[in-house]
Amino acid sequence: MLQVNEILSHYPSNYKQSGIIPMLDLAQQQHGGWIPVAAMDAIAKIVGVAPIRVYEVATFYSMFNRTKVGKYHLLVCGTTPCMIRGSRDIEDALLKHLGVKRNEVTSDGLFSVGEMECMGCCVNAPMIAVADYTKGSDGYTYNYYEDLTPKRVVELVEMLRRGETPPHGTQNPERKNCGPAGGMTTLLGEPKPPPCRDLDAC
Ligand code: FES
């Protein structure tokens, strides 16, 4: 209840319903990655709205899961730039390696693979996000792994299985963040001053 009060303290008391999204997020983290109807009903009661108002929000946003997911929920970006750069191969490699279909959970409960639309990381396509529910809401993380290959994504899964924390961000050792592979190719020296008219020459 402490966390709920903290969330509500951010909004005027006559706009408690603004807390629906952060409360759904909290419920999801506390409940191993998905939100049961009972949690949505409890949120509706807290903010004083009809349960349908909370269902509407939870069903609209794809980051809210309404069925069980793995402790590591792997979200493959399926939008055009990632698709052009091989996201289907990334998803196929994950599904094959884990022996599941999309949105299924592995028998040990550890992994599930979902799909997400553009996560704003197109410059490092293809990419996945990993929602880590292994440590409850206090240790919850949501990290991006970028510039993936089918081989690398399988390596990442195995690192997670061993309880390791793979370095997030680009997985291409030749890139720094979203810079070009192999290093900068432009803006390497001091920029020239802007051209100015030589008034003395007039
Ligand atoms: S298309 Fe995949 S991050 Fe934008």
Structure confidence by residue, pLDDT tens digits, 69-86: 999 999 999 999 999 999
Q: Is residue 183 part of a domain?
A: no
Asked whether residue 101 falls in the same domain as residue 49, the answer is: no
Q: Is 125 in the pocket of ligand 1 (CB under 6 A)?
A: yes
What's the whole-number average pLDDT of the chain?
95
pLDDT in tens, 7-37: 999 999 999 999 999 999 999 999 999 999 9
Tell whether 202 is in a known binding site: no
Look at residue 178 and tell me if it is in a domain. Answer: no
Do 79 and 51 belong together in one domain? no
Give the residues across from 132 on adjacent strands: 72, 141
Residue 198 in any domain: the answer is no
Task: For residue 161, give its domain range.
Answer: 72-170
> CA-CA distance, 104 to 13, in Å (whole number)?
40
| Domain-located, residue 17 | yes
From residue 105, give the alpha-carbon distance in Å to each of 5, 96, 111.
33, 13, 6
Determine if ligand 1 sits within 6 Å of the CB of residue 22: no
What CATH number did the domain enclosing 142 receive? 3.40.30.10
Instruction: Give the C-alpha separation, 33 to 137, whole Å.
Output: 10
Interval 40-63: pLDDT, tens: 999 999 999 999 999 999 999 988
Our CA angle for 89, 91, 94, nearest 5°, is 110
CATH of the domain at 26: 1.10.10.1590
